[in-house]
C-alpha cells in the first residue's frame, strides 16, 4: 500500500483503488477555501477520505482544550453547514488511533437526492490537530466501510 505523510507528522495508507485528489479536484469538491487539506477518493466505492489540520498557537492552549471539546466544535460547525442538506447526527465516535484518543461523531445528510453517511474524527499529536472526514454514499456502505477501516488502521505518527 502506498503511503502519504500529512503535515510532516501523520502517515496514512492509500488503499488500492484510491487516488490522491489534486488541487483542482479539491477546489471542486470542497469549495470552502481551506488550504490545509489532503484527500483521497475511490469513485467505484463512492468514498472520500480527507484530512484537515491546524496547529495550536501555543502548547498551553493545546493542553487546555480537550479532544472531545474540539470534536464537539467540529460537530456544531458541520451541523450548521449541512443544515440545508438535512444533517442528522447518528452518534458519537470514540476510537484509539495512533496510540492516542480520537473523538468524533457520525452523521448523515443528502446531496442531490443521494444519501451520504460520514464519520468525522478529531485526532491530536503535539500542537497539531487533525480532523479526519470519511464520506460514503449510504447505499454503498458495505463496500466503503472496509476501505475506511483499512485507512484508519494504516494511520501512524
pLDDT-derived band at 10, boundaries 50, 70, 90:
very high
* Residue ranges of domains in the chain: 2-154
| pLDDT tens track for 82-111 | 999 999 999 999 999 999 999 999 999 999
What is the rounded average pLDDT of the residues 136-144?
A: 95
Place of cell 464537539: 72
CATH number, span 2-154: 3.40.1000.10
Q: Where are the beta strands (DSSP E) in 43-87?
A: 47-55
pLDDT-derived band at 32, boundaries 50, 70, 90:
confident
**Above 80 in pLDDT, residue 62?**
no
What CA–CA distance (Å, rounded) separates 62 from 60?
Answer: 5
Amino acid at each position: 500500500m502506498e503511503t502519504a505523510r500529512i503535515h510532516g507528522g501523520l502517515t496514512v495508507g492509500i488503499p488500492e483503488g484510491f487516488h490522491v485528489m489534486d488541487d483542482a479536484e479539491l477546489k471542486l469538491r470542497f469549495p470552502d477555501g481551506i488550504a490545509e487539506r489532503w484527500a483521497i477518493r475511490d469513485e467505484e466505492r463512492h468514498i472520500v477520505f480527507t484530512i484537515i489540520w491546524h496547529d495550536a498557537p501555543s502548547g498551553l492552549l493545546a493542553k487546555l482544550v480537550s479532544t472531545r471539546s474540539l470534536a464537539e466544535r467540529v460537530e456544531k460547525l458541520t451541523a450548521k453547514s449541512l443544515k440545508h442538506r438535512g444533517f442528522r447526527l447518528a452518534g458519537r465516535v470514540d476510537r484509539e488511533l495512533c496510540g492516542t484518543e480520537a473523538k468524533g461523531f457520525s452523521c448523515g445528510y443528502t446531496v442531490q437526492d443521494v444519501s451520504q453517511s460520514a464519520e468525522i474524527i478529531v485526532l491530536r499529536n503535539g500542537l497539531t490537530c487533525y480532523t479526519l472526514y470519511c464520506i460514503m454514499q449510504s447505499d454503498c456502505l458495505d463496500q466503503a466501510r472496509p476501505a475506511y477501516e483499512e485507512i484508519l488502521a494504516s494511520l501512524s505518527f
